[in-house]
Structure 1
Amino acid sequence: MLKALAKCLLLSLPLAAHAQTPSVVFLNPGYSNETFWVSYSRFMQAAASDLGMQLRIEYSEREPARAMTLARQVLEGPQRPDYLVLVNEQYIAPEIIRLSRGSGVKLFLVNNGLTPDQTRLIADSPDKYPQPIATLVTNDEEAGYRMLTALIAQVPPPPKGQQIDLLAFSGMKITPASQLRERGMRRALAEHPEVNLRQVVYGGWGRERAYEQATQLLQRYPNTRLVWSANDEMAFGAMQAFEEAGRKPGKDVCFSAVNSSPEALQARIDGRLSVLMGGHFSLGGWAMVLLHDDARGLPISRDGQHQYQVPVLQLIDPARARRWLKLVNEPDYGLDFNRFSAEGKARSFRYPFLTAPVDY
């Protein structure tokens, strides 16, 4: 009898452990073959594996309608996760928040938070819109500012009375991250009257579209010396157009970009990209740390805040690019995510990634 009871207890242990495992669905707004969003998912999965969490990733393929369909399936399906992580890409978050009411699923926003108008809408209707437990966004405005400032430093000041021609490739008008990066770019521009912004175009984050735009812009502004891009795909599209016109990146024209894809890191090492900002692929991983702690009843808003701007975007010099390039193929990015958790820490513990970039 005792042996049978012991056997039953042993057999029940995996089920009990499984029941206590926090489950998360990440509604990825990107394409399933898009370098940035795939690396973002890989970092989240590395965190989930370290922290003993279940993570499922659904790609919306940059289609808001598909994102809404996936959100309904998650929130209204028979096997709902504990948490849904989403991005306010193209302003879809409020409707997903509304759908979550009564589902028992907690929401967590990353990368693109709610706009001020959306925040007021949700605060004014608590019976209709449950509050997300937290929001993590990147330092996009600062990144746009620092990127242009560093890019301008790549060329000597022009003779008196002359200016340096600049082209800018922004992402999407209705994406908060794109708006903030462009705002930072314009703040830096205001400090440098010697730079003439010839035109801002919206490349939709895509290489091919930026290539087509740059081909036309180069004919219009042949003296362009600086090209600012809100991501790496647009930078490489513009770069192709300039190369086809006989302009050498890093010599005749200087390019900047955001993202730490292997291609971008190698281009920084080779000097084809003169300025590179990256590191925001890690934001979803830090969200997983917070969800892990929330599932264990630990207070994740230890300073009373629920919305954080995390300084994950940082300048990548050639030395850092070489180091990061080696980490790309490491499944855990060389990190033990448990050390970032509040579990087992003193009450005074503060999440280190919320205040300073984690060096890899």
Structure 2
Amino acid sequence: MANPMHVVFINPGHANLDNPTGHFWPEASRFAHAVAEDLDIQLEILHAERNAFRLQALVQDILKRPQKPDYLLLVNERFALTPIFDAIDKAGIPFFLAYNHYNQTLHLQPKPRQTHKHWLGALVPDNEFAGYQLAKKLITSLKGEPARLLAFSGDDVTSASLLRVKGLKRALQEHPSAKLQYIMPGEWRYDIPQQRTPGLLRRHPDINLIWAANGAMGLGALKGSTQSLRLQKVNIASINWDQDEITALQNGDLYASVGGHFMTAGWSLIMLYDYHHGRDFIDDGGSYQQRKIFEAVTRDNIQDYLPVLQTRQWQQLDYRGMSKTYNPELKNYQFSLGKTLRLGY
């Protein structure tokens, strides 16, 4: 196309892989770039570096531009954008929310295109399902042995963290013999679980499972558990699919990793691309969508995912095969790496 659609994606995390919160947000940018390249989208990515004030400032700077983008792709990290939602809408740039919910009332979210006319929609990974799936994998790994869990949540604010913990507790209700011995916020960081795990394992010697709400915390807990000099093996599972998680999984140090949600920005670009070309995603799941994007990679199925999880060469996949613009016969989006690999896109 002579004039490709221009999208600004404001990533709330870091641009570089070398940061204390893990690879999630850098990977989100890399994946979004691969999708944009395939669909000929002019994608501009700005990073807020996990700073809520910087996130707000970046958005407000875009709103003041004389030459505005066609679309804004936003992440409401720590609900920092909720107070300025009216201002975003009044700027007249069509915008889309990815990853996090609009507000903390998690069971009740407003509908796009109503009060805020330029808010096109939202794509939120089902974080409760992720926390539930992670806990189920851990509990069943013990083959009937009573489960005693240590859990590291992300924080006490973001919807992703709150919902993953909710999923963890739902899994515990299904397994009455399983007990949550201790839960603490790891602030999405490597160092806090690394420092706290040895002491927590000494204080609670019956802990045999560690549930971590992201990869950095899972790897930190792994390091901390080896430093604790515990003779008993502790099964550890985390959420993200970071490169180091996959390596630890291959080595047998990590039991499972639930991930795929970093791809949400890329999937959102496909939805926006189709919307831009007259195929409204509202007909496939509504304007505010929560999808079970997460997939569990374990020692049993890791070989199916390694072709891309090892190389991280996201551009090798054909994202046009997932677009309804290029495939008018496509009725439903298939936002899943596993399905993408099996379908040979």
For normalisation by structure 2, the TM-score amounts to 0.89
- The alpha-carbon distance between structure 1 residues 219 and 318, as it changes in their structure 2 partners (threshold 3 A), is closer
Q: Residues 166 and 197 of structure 1 are in contact (CA less than 8 Å); yes or no, is this contact kept in structure 2?
A: yes
User: Which residue matches 1:253?
Assistant: 234
Which whole-Å CA distance do the structure 2 matches of 1:97 and 1:36 have between them?
A: 25
Q: Residues 97 and 130 of structure 1 are in contact (CA less than 8 Å); yes or no, is this contact kept in structure 2?
A: no
Q: Residues 112 and 287 of structure 2 are in contact (CA less than 8 Å); yes or no, is this contact kept in structure 1?
A: no
Q: Residues 165 and 226 of structure 1 are in contact (CA less than 8 Å); yes or no, is this contact kept in structure 2?
A: yes
| Cα shift at 1:113 | 1.8
- The alpha-carbon distance between structure 1 residues 324 and 192, as it changes in their structure 2 partners (threshold 3 A), is same
User: Which residue matches 1:199?
Assistant: 182
Runs (4+) of structure 1 moved beyond 4 Å?
116-127, 354-357
Q: Residues 313 and 357 of structure 1 are in contact (CA less than 8 Å); yes or no, is this contact kept in structure 2?
A: no
- The alpha-carbon distance between structure 1 residues 355 and 207, as it changes in their structure 2 partners (threshold 3 A), is closer
Which whole-Å CA distance do the structure 2 matches of 1:288 and 1:317 have between them?
A: 29
- The alpha-carbon distance between structure 1 residues 61 and 116, as it changes in their structure 2 partners (threshold 3 A), is closer
User: Which residue matches 1:213?
Assistant: 196
* From 132, 140, 147, the counterpart of 2:127: 140
User: Which residue matches 2:97?
Assistant: 109
Which whole-Å CA distance do the structure 2 matches of 1:280 and 1:123 have between them?
A: 22
Residue aligned with 2:102, SS: coil
- The alpha-carbon distance between structure 1 residues 166 and 118, as it changes in their structure 2 partners (threshold 3 A), is closer
| Cα shift at 1:191 | 1.5
* From 14, 29, 39, the counterpart of 1:31: 14
- The alpha-carbon distance between structure 1 residues 327 and 93, as it changes in their structure 2 partners (threshold 3 A), is same
- The alpha-carbon distance between structure 1 residues 119 and 134, as it changes in their structure 2 partners (threshold 3 A), is farther
Residue aligned with 2:25, SS: helix
* From 56, 61, 68, the counterpart of 2:56: 68
Which whole-Å CA distance do the structure 2 matches of 1:345 and 1:125 have between them?
A: 26
Which whole-Å CA distance do the structure 2 matches of 1:49 and 1:41 have between them?
A: 12
- The code of the aligned residue for 1:336 comes to D
* 2:51 pairs with 1:57: no
Unaligned runs of 5+ in 1: 1-16
Unaligned runs of 5+ in 2: 17-21
* From 308, 328, 338, the counterpart of 1:327: 308
Residue aligned with 2:180, SS: strand
- The code of the aligned residue for 1:277 comes to V
Residue aligned with 2:283, SS: coil
Bigger shift: residues 314-323 or 97-106: 314-323
Which whole-Å CA distance do the structure 2 matches of 1:354 and 1:302 have between them?
A: 16
For normalisation by structure 1, the TM-score amounts to 0.85
% of aligned pairs identical?
30
CA shift digits 1:242-269 (9 cap, x unpaired):
1011237xx6110011111111111112
Of structures 1 and 2, the larger Rg is shown by 1
- The code of the aligned residue for 1:291 comes to L
Which whole-Å CA distance do the structure 1 matches of 2:317 and 2:109 have between them?
A: 39
Q: Aligned ranges for residues 89-104 of structure 1 at < 5 Å? A: 89-104=77-92
Work out the number of aligned pairs and report it.
335
User: Which residue matches 1:233?
Assistant: 216
Q: Residues 147 and 178 of structure 2 are in contact (CA less than 8 Å); yes or no, is this contact kept in structure 1?
A: yes
Which whole-Å CA distance do the structure 1 matches of 2:229 and 2:167 have between them?
A: 30
- The alpha-carbon distance between structure 1 residues 131 and 217, as it changes in their structure 2 partners (threshold 3 A), is farther
User: Which residue matches 2:19?
Assistant: none
* From 164, 183, 206, the counterpart of 1:223: 206
Q: Aligned ranges for residues 1-360 of structure 1 at < 5 Å? A: 17-18=1-2, 20-33=3-16, 34-115=22-103, 117=105, 129-158=116-145, 163-247=146-230, 252-303=233-284, 305-318=286-299, 320-328=301-309, 329=311, 331-346=313-328, 349-353=330-334, 358-360=339-341
CA shift digits 1:269-317 (9 cap, x unpaired):
2211112111112111111111111222322212471111222211112
Q: Residues 102 and 109 of structure 2 are in contact (CA less than 8 Å); yes or no, is this contact kept in structure 1?
A: no
CA shift digits 1:224-259 (9 cap, x unpaired):
1010111111011111111011237xx611001111
Which whole-Å CA distance do the structure 2 matches of 1:349 and 1:125 have between them?
A: 25
Residue aligned with 1:104, SS: coil
